[in-house]
C-alpha cells in the first residue's frame, strides 16, 4: 500500500514551474458537450482507471503546456463546437496547484470550468479549497474511490486511512462555498453507508451523489477480477 500524498510528488515529473504535461485536447460528449484537456500524472492507482497506461508512465507521455496555452486550446474547442463547459480530466488536475490556479484565472467568464478530481490534495490542504473559492465559474466534481476506507484501499491500492481525505475535501469545499458534487463508481458495495456519511457533511449531499458507470474495457475487468473483498 502507498501514501497518495507522497505519490503526489510525481508532480515533479509532469511539471516545469507553472507548466503541466498534457497528452491530448479534445471535444467530449459528457455534460452535454465539453472541451477537454487530458493531463498527465496521478496520485492514485485505481484498478478501474480507463487511463491506466497514461497514469503508470508519466515520464513517457505528453508535452508541457503553459496555463495560457491550455486555456487557449480549450476555449477554441469550445467555440468550434458551441460548448459552454471546459475541463481538465484524464489524470489528477490538482497535482500542480500553481498551474491549475493560473489556468482558472485565464478561463473566460462565459465558460464553466469543471474540475474533475479525487479530492486528496483538496482534503490535505484546506487552503486549496479557499483558493478555488475565488473562481465563480468553477464547479468541482469529487470522484470518491469507494464507499468506505476498506473499499477505497481495495480499489486504489492506497492505505485505507486516506479515504478520509476525500471526505475532507467535500467538507473543505462546503466550508468555502465552492460549487461541487460527489461522484462514485457504480460498483460501490455499500452505497447506503456512503450516502449516510455524505449526509453528515451536508444533509442534501447524498441526493447530489453521481453514480459513475464503470467503463468495461477488457483490461479494466481483468484488473477488477484480481481483487477480493472480504
Q: Tell me the mean pLDDT in the region 192-216.
A: 92
Counted domains in the chain: 1
Q: Tell me the mean pLDDT in the region 172-188.
A: 95
Given a contact cutoff of 8 angstroms between Cβ atoms, the answer to whether 152 and 138 are in contact is no
Q: Is residue 229 part of a domain?
A: no
Q: How confident is the model at residue 225 (pLDDT cuts 50, 70, 90)?
A: confident
Q: Grid coordinates in use for 25?
A: 485536447
Per-residue pLDDT tens over the stretch 92-132: 999 999 999 999 999 999 999 999 999 999 999 989 999 99
At 229 the pLDDT is 60
Tell me how far apart the alpha carbons of residues 17 and 14 are, in angstroms, rounded to a whole number. Answer: 10
Query: What is the CATH classification number for the domain harbouring 16?
Result: 3.20.20.70
At 210 the pLDDT is 95
Computed on alpha carbons and rounded to an integer, the radius of gyration of the chain in Å comes to 17
At 228 the pLDDT is 62
Q: Is residue 230 part of a domain?
A: no
Q: Is residue 174 part of a domain?
A: yes
Q: Is residue 39 part of a domain?
A: yes
- Given a cut of 60, whether residue 230 has pLDDT beyond it is no
- Does this model's pTM top 0.85? yes
Per-residue pLDDT tens over the stretch 154-179: 999 999 999 999 999 999 999 999 99
Residue 136's domain comprises: 4-223
At 160 the pLDDT is 97
Q: How confident is the model at residue 196 (pLDDT cuts 50, 70, 90)?
A: very high
At 38 the pLDDT is 95
Distances (CA, A) of 105 to 98, 111, 176: 11, 12, 18
Per-residue pLDDT tens over the stretch 37-87: 999 999 999 988 877 777 778 888 899 999 999 999 999 999 999 999 999
- Given a cut of 80, whether residue 219 has pLDDT beyond it is no
Amino acid at each position: 500500500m502507498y501514501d497518495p500524498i507522497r505519490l503526489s510528488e510525481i508532480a515533479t515529473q509532469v511539471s516545469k514551474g507553472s507548466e503541466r504535461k498534457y497528452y491530448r485536447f479534445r471535444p467530449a460528449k459528457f455534460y452535454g458537450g465539453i472541451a477537454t484537456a487530458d493531463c498527465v500524472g496521478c496520485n492514485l492507482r485505481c484498478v478501474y482507471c480507463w487511463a491506466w497506461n497514461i497514469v503508470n508512465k508519466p515520464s513517457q507521455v505528453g508535452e508541457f503546456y503553459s496555463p495560457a496555452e491550455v486555456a487557449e486550446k480549450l476555449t477554441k474547442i469550445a467555440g468550434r463546437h458551441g460548448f459552454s463547459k471546459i475541463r481538465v480530466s484524464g489524470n489528477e488536475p490538482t497535482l500542480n496547484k500553481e498551474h491549475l490556479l493560473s489556468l482558472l484565472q485565464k478561463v473566460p467568464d462565459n465558460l464553466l470550468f469543471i474540475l474533475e478530481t479525487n479530492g486528496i490534495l483538496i482534503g490535505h490542504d484546506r487552503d486549496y479549497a479557499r483558493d478555488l473559492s475565488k473562481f465563480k465559474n468553477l464547479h468541482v466534481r469529487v470522484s470518491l474511490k469507494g464507499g468506505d476506507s476498506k473499499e477505497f484501499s481495495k480499489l486504489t491500492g492506497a492505505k485505507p486511512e486516506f479515504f478520509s481525505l476525500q471526505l475532507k475535501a467535500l467538507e473543505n469545499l462546503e466550508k468555502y462555498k465552492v460549487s461541487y458534487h460527489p461522484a462514485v463508481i457504480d460498483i460501490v458495495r455499500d452505497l447506503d453507508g456512503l450516502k449516510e456519511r455524505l449526509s453528515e457533511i451536508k444533509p442534501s449531499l447524498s441526493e447530489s451523489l453521481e453514480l459513475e458507470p464503470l467503463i468495461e474495457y477488457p483490461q479494466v475487468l481483468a484488473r477488477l477480477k484480481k481483487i477480493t473483498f472480504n
